Amino acid sequence: MTRREKLGKFLKAQRKAAGVTQRQIAEALGYSSAQFISNWERGISQPPLESLEQLAKLIKVDARKLLRMAVNNVGDRFRSD
């Protein structure tokens, strides 16, 4: 399992624990579709860094932890090139 997939699994579990839907998160972050959130949760893409603080509040997690996970994923992309 890649770090991006681990992040996605974490996001999904935290979202469900917080009792919010993908659509609610999408709307709160200004996205037109819940598909963006689904893609994050499936490890296809990841949230933009500038959205992490608001996302962390929505799913009730520590923003620093979420930032660390996302930055590690970005670092992996640079290391694999």
What is the 3 state secondary structure string of 8-45?
HHHHHHHHHHHCCCHHHHHHHHCCCCCHHHHHHHCCCC
Task: Supply the pLDDT for residue 29.
Answer: 97
pTM for this structure? 0.86
28 CB burial (10 A radius; 0-12, 13-18, 19+) = middle
Q: Give me the domain span that covers residue 17.
A: 3-80
User: 10 Å Cβ neighbour count for 5?
Assistant: 14
Residue 24 confidence (pLDDT): 98
* Tens-binned pLDDT, residue by residue, of the chain (81 aa): 888 899 999 999 999 999 999 999 999 999 999 999 999 999 999 999 999 999 999 999 999 999 998 888 765 555 544
